[in-house]
Amino acid sequence: MYKVMLVDDDYPVLEFLSEMIDWHGLGLRLQSTHVNGMSALKEAEENMPDILITDIGMPKLNGIELTKKLKEKHPALLVTILSCHNEFGFAQQALKLNVQEYILKDMLDVNEIIQLLRKFVCTLNNEKKNKMNQLQMAQTIEQNKGLMLERFINKTVHYPIHSKKVWQDEAYLLGLQPNQRYMVILCLINQYQSVLHYFQSANLVNYFVQHVIAEVIENEAVNAVHGQFEKEKSFLFVSLSSKGDEKSLIIKSLIHKIQLVFQETFGLSFSFIMGNPAEKPVDIKLQMMDLIEFNVSKVCSNTEIENARKYILDNLHRKITLDEVANYLHLNSSYFSRLFKKEIGENFVKYVVKLKMNRAKDLLDQTNYTILEISDMLGYENQSYFNKTFKSFEGLAPIEYRNGKIGRDKTYGVKR
């Protein structure tokens, strides 16, 4: 039932309205009656009514002031003003406060009040119904958001980004802001098969992980979006609006908090692989692909080689030498060369060229960068040498590869 508060310093009016109206029959409960505005305000601070019927001229706090204070706390409050005053000024003040009715006491008719209350009940019922519909819609959107984000991430990884605007519009609906730099992070559930066996459902694991990480992000007040990718893998996108050092600490703190919550509360272990900052859709995509490739192609447990591979991926945009990476790892060059070939199965130079050529194919497929721009982006000093290397690796010159891709897209009806 909806609550009604009566306020009037004329006690006979309070008694008349209290006794002559069948409150229960109208679906209402007479919460309280008051002979001054201050008393009404004090109770409303603890127990706000849904409907206020108040006189204007009262001691301590008049009806206009009471209405104003209650409206500040509860803007949807329905109000009827009772008054002996037929002055335009009072009515004008009432209108400014969005008061529903202004009734003169000398024209007071109980049937009119009953009809007004019925209208109020109808209004409140409609508001309640709208709120329920909005809540149900919000719940549906929230439940579907995880699935929509998972589909978006998979589409970003596996399919070309033909339109930057379309990608940004979809990303925006899922919480990723356009023209915003993000740190792309791959999240991994350790011992996934054991976790899956415990939950007995991949969907339940995904929902659980998404819910817990979203809660940590909210508690830490970090601008970040987390979405499932596949099986044990998910992605975390952290906004980089703060200064570099400050943001690095925030990201490390967030990752540590997520690991701590899962480990201490649920006994689950998480690992994180951090990529590089990216802003453009295609750069975000390439970061995601690099992180997936880095994780999938781990063939050894050697920390030095894993660190070397991560260093190579992070510096694929420039010329990388074996000596440079060995120095980075504080290893002898000859030893590092032998160790790398033993663990990876191919020599350092061939491995780096393969990664660069795979990146070149991604850029030729996914972007409109010129061949020269792509050559520069991969650290080649001249386009001629890049063309020769690409043809040796792929069997086609870069322009032939791109033209062939366009032809295949047209054959299969893919829009560019």
Which CATH architecture describes the domain 2-108?
A: 3-Layer(aba) Sandwich (3.40)
What is d(CA 346, CA 339) in angstroms, rounded to the nearest whole number? 10
What was the pLDDT predicted at 321?
Answer: 93
Find the helix packing angle between 88-96 and 63-73, rounded to 10°: 10
What was the pLDDT predicted at 405?
Answer: 62
Contact (Cβ atoms closer than 8 angstroms) between residue 209 and residue 189? yes
Contact (Cβ atoms closer than 8 angstroms) between residue 242 and residue 250? yes
Rounded-to-10 torsion of CA 378, 380, 383, 386: -80
Cα dist. 90→79, 83, 147, 204 in Å?
A: 14, 9, 55, 60
What is d(CA 254, CA 244) in angstroms, rounded to the nearest whole number? 15
Contact (Cβ atoms closer than 8 angstroms) between residue 327 and residue 311? no
Q: In one letter, which amino acid is 216?
A: V
The fold of 163-296 is Alpha-Beta Plaits (3.30.70)
What was the pLDDT predicted at 195?
Answer: 84
Contact (Cβ atoms closer than 8 angstroms) between residue 47 and residue 70? no
Residue 107, number of CB atoms within 10 A of its CB: 8
What is d(CA 264, CA 127) in angstroms, rounded to the nearest whole number? 43
What was the pLDDT predicted at 411?
Answer: 42
Domain residue spans in the chain?
2-108, 163-296
Give the pLDDT of the chain (416 residues) as one tens digit per residue. Answer: 899 999 998 888 889 889 999 999 999 999 999 999 999 999 999 999 999 999 888 888 888 889 889 988 888 899 888 877 655 455 556 555 667 677 777 777 888 889 989 999 998 999 888 887 776 766 666 667 788 889 999 999 888 888 888 999 989 988 898 889 999 999 999 888 888 888 878 888 888 888 899 999 999 888 999 999 988 899 999 998 766 666 788 888 999 999 999 888 888 888 898 888 889 898 899 889 888 877 765 545 578 888 888 888 888 888 999 999 999 998 899 999 999 988 888 899 999 999 999 889 888 887 788 999 999 989 998 899 999 999 999 899 999 998 876 544 444 344 43
User: Are the folds of 2-108 and 163-296 the same?
Assistant: no
Helix (H, G, I), strand (E, B) or coil at 98: coil
Q: Which of 141, 203, 137 is nearest to 175 (CA)?
A: 141
Q: In what order do the strands lie in the sheet with 224-230?
A: 224-230, 233-239, 182-189, 270-278
